[in-house]
């Protein structure tokens, strides 16, 4: 697909998707969701620097071919960057509708290349030096500063980023069932916890569960009218989209399975399948949110990128710089944002990884300031010692 074809394709897309239309909905408050891809997404596989000859030398077995050669080629966005063909029908249309910004060279100052160290430091969002407080994640600090925040984690456990002074509920939506404990029993149990430090967690748990079930019951009867039931991550994303429209405005979701040391594939294969799932899920989320998508910003991150060169097993090892995805109805999309540079052997970080030019606390801080009109004091409370760097995401 060349650029002209792309534009033609773009023109045909909006009719097919209701979330593409500009809805005249009342402003009902901003919604923000952080999607954490745990394991270290190989972002060169998603956002491909096909303009770099070095890319093709560094990845003799797993590179994606330059745009326009066949169905397995990169979908060119400009003369240098393109998206993996697996997201042709999901993220590419969003990019063309200007609802997706890509931020390459993003990441953290953490150079440990450890999944766990880096995930923790990102979720805590505390200054890189000094002791860490594991009971204070940056999403929780954000929730504390927004007067009408309704935070939620769509995970099995409350993630580090959502832990802190504000009690945050969690509920995994991969599969859902009816609550087994009835109202009277819930009250008896809550009574047992009334004087304990778990009282808030217990009450919130019962409350959220009730709300979610009520909401999803409506949704399920709605979508039963002719809609094909989605599966897997797409189904989960639709449930989340529904709840973000109705109930919650600050959310966290994580998706695992990105640690591709071996046999990650190229245009097809393991990672292509995961990208396909991810893209379809994000598109389904936007679709499900309808008019609310215009008030929503979703940021997709991973703890680090991977080695620019492929390893001996047609995979990639832990690296440094990564690419963030920022999506939403009103993001300044259809482009790449933040500082960039050409990727050559000489510009690699420690001669192996993508360098970090857009530090995440600086970038997210500036985004929050714009989204919520936060002042410097608020911002310092969320990301202490970080200098906001506005790269014009919204």
| List of residues contacting another protein (CB under 8 A) | 38-39, 112-117, 134-135, 153, 155-158, 163, 167-172, 179-181, 185-186, 188-189, 191-196, 198, 201-206, 208-209, 256-257, 259, 261-262, 311-313, 315, 317-318, 350
Using the minimum distance from each CB to another protein, give the nearer residue, 277 or 287. Answer: 277
**Centroid of chain to Cα 367:** 14
Using the minimum distance from each CB to another protein, give the nearer residue, 37 or 83. Answer: 37
**Least distance in angstroms from the C-beta of 136 to another protein:** 11
Residues near 104 by beta carbon (within 8 Å), at least 6 away in sequence:
43, 47, 81, 321, 323, 336, 338, 340, 354
Q: Are 322 and 305 in contact (CB under 8 A)?
A: yes
Q: Are 366 and 337 in contact (CB under 8 A)?
A: no
Strand partners, 5: none
For residue 296, give the DSSP letter: E
**Least distance in angstroms from the C-beta of 287 to another protein:** 26
Count how many residues are written for the chain: 394
**Least distance in angstroms from the C-beta of 62 to another protein:** 14
Using the minimum distance from each CB to another protein, give the nearer residue, 49 or 321. Answer: 321
> What is the rounded distance in angstroms from the CA atom of residue 303 to the CA atom of residue 40?
5
> What is the rounded distance in angstroms from the CA atom of residue 33 to the CA atom of residue 247?
13
**Least distance in angstroms from the C-beta of 109 to another protein:** 15
**Least distance in angstroms from the C-beta of 376 to another protein:** 30
Task: Give residue for tokens 């040391």.
Answer: 261
**Least distance in angstroms from the C-beta of 248 to another protein:** 13
> What is the rounded distance in angstroms from the CA atom of residue 106 to the CA atom of residue 323?
5
Q: Are 321 and 55 in contact (CB under 8 A)?
A: no
Using the minimum distance from each CB to another protein, give the nearer residue, 88 or 201. Answer: 201
Using the minimum distance from each CB to another protein, give the nearer residue, 39 or 82. Answer: 39
Using the minimum distance from each CB to another protein, give the nearer residue, 58 or 92. Answer: 58
């Amino acid at each position: 697909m060349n650029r002209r074809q792309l534009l033609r394709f773009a023109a045909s897309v909006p009719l097919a998707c209701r979330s593409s239309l500009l809805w005249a909905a009342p402003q009902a408050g901003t919604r923000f969701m952080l999607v954490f891809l745990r394991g270290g997404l190989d972002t060169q596989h998603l956002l491909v620097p096909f303009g770099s000859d070095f890319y093709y030398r560094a990845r003799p077995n797993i590179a994606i071919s330059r745009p326009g050669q066949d169905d397995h080629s990169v979908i060119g966005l400009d003369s240098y960057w393109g998206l993996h063909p697996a997201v042709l029908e999901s993220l590419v249309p969003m990019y063309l509708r200007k609802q997706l910004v890509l931020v390459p060279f993003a990441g953290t100052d953490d150079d440990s290349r450890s999944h766990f160290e880096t995930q923790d430091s990102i979720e805590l969002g505390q200054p890189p030096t000094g002791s860490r407080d594991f009971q204070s994640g940056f999403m929780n600090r954000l929730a504390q500063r927004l007067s009408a925040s309704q935070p939620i984690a769509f995970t099995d456990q409350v993630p580090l980023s959502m832990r802190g002074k504000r009690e945050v509920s969690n509920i995994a939506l991969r599969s859902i069932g009816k609550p087994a404990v009835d109202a009277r029993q819930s009250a008896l149990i809550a009574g047992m916890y009334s004087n304990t430090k778990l009282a808030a967690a217990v009450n919130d748990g019962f409350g959220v569960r009730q709300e979610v079930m009520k909401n999803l019951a409506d949704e399920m009867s709605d979508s039963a009218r002719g809609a094909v039931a989605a599966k897997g991550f797409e189904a989960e994303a639709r449930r989340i989209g529904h709840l973000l429209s109705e109930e919650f405005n600050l959310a966290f979701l994580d998706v695992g399975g990105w640690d591709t040391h071996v046999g990650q594939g190229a245009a097809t294969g393991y990672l292509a399948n995961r990208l396909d799932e991810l893209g379809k899920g994000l598109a389904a989320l936007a679709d499900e949110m309808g008019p609310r998508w215009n008030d929503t910003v979703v940021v997709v991150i991973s703890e680090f990128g991977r080695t620019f060169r492929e390893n001996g097993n047609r995979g990639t090892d832990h690296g440094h710089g990564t690419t963030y995805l920022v999506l939403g109805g009103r993001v300044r999309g259809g482009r790449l944002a933040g500082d960039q540079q050409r990727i050559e052997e000489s510009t690699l970080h420690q001669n192996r990884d993508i360098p970090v030019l857009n530090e995440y606390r600086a970038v997210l801080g500036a985004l929050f300031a714009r989204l919520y009109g936060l002042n410097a004091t608020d911002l310092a409370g969320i990301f202490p010692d970080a200098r906001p760097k506005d790269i014009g995401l919204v």
